[in-house]
Chains A and B, each alone.
Chain A
Amino acid sequence: MRHTIAFSSLKGGVGKTTTALNSAYAFARRGLRTLLVDTDPQGAIGLSLDGVSERPGLAASVHDGELPEIVKTRLAELHLLPMGTVEAMDVDRFAQEARASEVVKRLVERAQDDYDLVLFDTPAGLGGMTRLVLETVDHVIAVVQCEPLALRSLPRLLELLAQLRETGSSCSLLGVASNMGSFRDPVILACLEELWQLYRDHVFETSIPRDSVFLEASRAGVPLGLLSRRPPPAAAVFDGLVAEIEGRLGVEQGGSDDGPIRLVD
């Protein structure tokens, strides 16, 4: 495994899970062995995917000390680690137990040889699990909804990142992903323009649009690319986004370990 990336934001509801999930799917489609880890005690990935929420995951691992069972998907290159169930009364304590058990660090160590990318979907906010993940990963993608409050909260995430780096963390900002953009709403457009103006090259060129098809995918419990046999046009947005991410990571096409891939193992 060469890269670990967290999708984070201070504000909730900006589309972290949607961005992480669909990016993971797009990475796997491009041939990168990808593990998507849900670190949100609410289990956002499990709530987004049909057939996942009831499975044990990171939560069980924190309690019993064993590394959790990975969920395989229909894409050989995409595996999931859901959160599992965290009791409502235990949410606050969960992050403390996760830190004490070093579950995130152990997970990254175990994933070392088996994955090209480990993506972490983090809960909203900068404490608890988010901070624990940011202390462990190499990169952060800040997800920003194109609306004023999300834009105003972005510097808080950067401040945390800067402070972590100054205390020895290797985690750095990989980029800012703008979400729920629309060129027709003047407020959204003003937010987009200000995002580009303030954060310039750090903002990914690919802007994820506001589109009802995301709700359809959520309702169906699938990533956009599996909503139908002919994926909706919005699914292609994530192909563009992950291509940009690969470019910033320096992912090379080919290389010494590249070659024919057996169809049948």
Chain B
Amino acid sequence: MDRSVSWTDPKSVALLLSRASGAVQKVRRSARPAPAIADRAAPLAPVAAAPKPPAQKEVPPLEQTSDNPSDRMDALIAWTLDHFPCTGAFVADDNGLTLAAHGISEAHVALVGPMLWAMANVRTIPGIDATAGALLLGVNMMSWVEGRSERGGFCLGTVGEQPLSTRALEQLKVALEVTVGGL
């Protein structure tokens, strides 16, 4: 069995986290600029309750069981819709040709090609390695990741009220690579 990168036992980490964490008090944004520290003493702040980060559901990795490209794309779309905050999802090739989609409009489909073309131009800027992005479309956010296989480039995108997080984009990228890597 492969050893984990961290050599760390998950149970001991969970126990440590519970011992090292707790709730928090609230702070308000100040309207005043910060003055220099004044020569007056003040009592210590009341003890802050410990913080509790928001709960997040765990996303299981995508498993592809079919060799049929169409089935694989459909499985990817279904997995994306099931596990991420979006109302629609699509897979396209690097020319913007939609290969599979659910819950997105014709306008969104038409947008994919120019969007990927724009991203390709962005990547010509030295030092910019952009392979994912988000775009505000009226009341919706389109988020997408790009991946490559021997058959060329592909894009997996979502449409929803919120842009996807960095972690979510990475999970989508892995799922896209799992899907197109087997074609």
- Interface residues of chain A, those whose CB is within 8 Å of chain B, are 1-4, 30-35, 67, 70, 72, 76-79, 105, 108-117, 138-139, 148, 151-152, 154-155, 158-159, 161-162, 165-166, 170, 172-175, 183-184, 187, 190-192, 194-203, 205-207, 211-213, 232-233, 240, 246-261, 265
Contacts and interface: CB of A to CB of B under 8 A. Distances in A.
Given A196-B167, A258-B31, A201 B55 contact: yes
B68 interface: no
A111 B39 CA distance: 10
B173 A183 contact: yes
Contacts of B53: 175, 201-202, 248
Interface string B157-171: 000000001110010
Nearest to B12: A155
A198 B13 contact: yes
Given A109-B44, A148-B5, A151-B8, A33 B28 contact: no
Interface in B26-80: 26-45, 47-48, 50-51, 53-56, 58
Contact of A248 (B8, B36, B51): B51
A174 B25 CA distance: 12
A155 B16 contact: yes
Q: What are the 4 A-B residue pairs with the smallest beta carbon separation, nearest first?
A: A162-B19, A255-B28, A33-B34, A112-B42
A29 to B, nearest CB: 12
Contacts of B33: 33, 76-77, 261, 265
A166 B56 CA distance: 28
A259 B29 CA distance: 10
Contacts of A240: 166
A220 to B, nearest CB: 15
B121 interface: no
Contact of A255 (B24, B29, B40, B173): B29
B28 A252 contact: yes
B23 to A, nearest CB: 9
Contacts of B8: 151-152, 154-155, 198
Do most interface residues of chain B lie in helix, strand or loop, or is the interface mixed?
loop
Contact of B34 (A76, A198, A249, A260): A76
Contacts, number: 203
Interface residues of B, number: 54
A257 B31 contact: yes
12 contacts: A31-B29, A110-B39, A110-B40, A110-B41, A112-B44, A162-B19, A175-B51, A190-B5, A192-B170, A207-B167, A248-B51, A258-B28
A253 B30 CA distance: 10
Nearest to B169: A183
Given A198-B13, A248-B51, A249-B51, A72 B36 contact: yes
B58 to A, nearest CB: 8
A2 B26 CA distance: 8
Contacts of B27: 2-3, 32, 116-117, 246, 249-252
Contacts of A251: 26-29
B124 interface: no
B42 to A, nearest CB: 4
B149 interface: no
Interface string B1-22: 0001111101011001101111
B43 to A, nearest CB: 7
A199 B4 CA distance: 14
B16 A162 contact: yes
B25 A233 contact: no
A203 B39 CA distance: 38
A256 B29 contact: no
Nearest to A182: B129
Contacts of A162: 16, 19-20
B41 A109 contact: yes
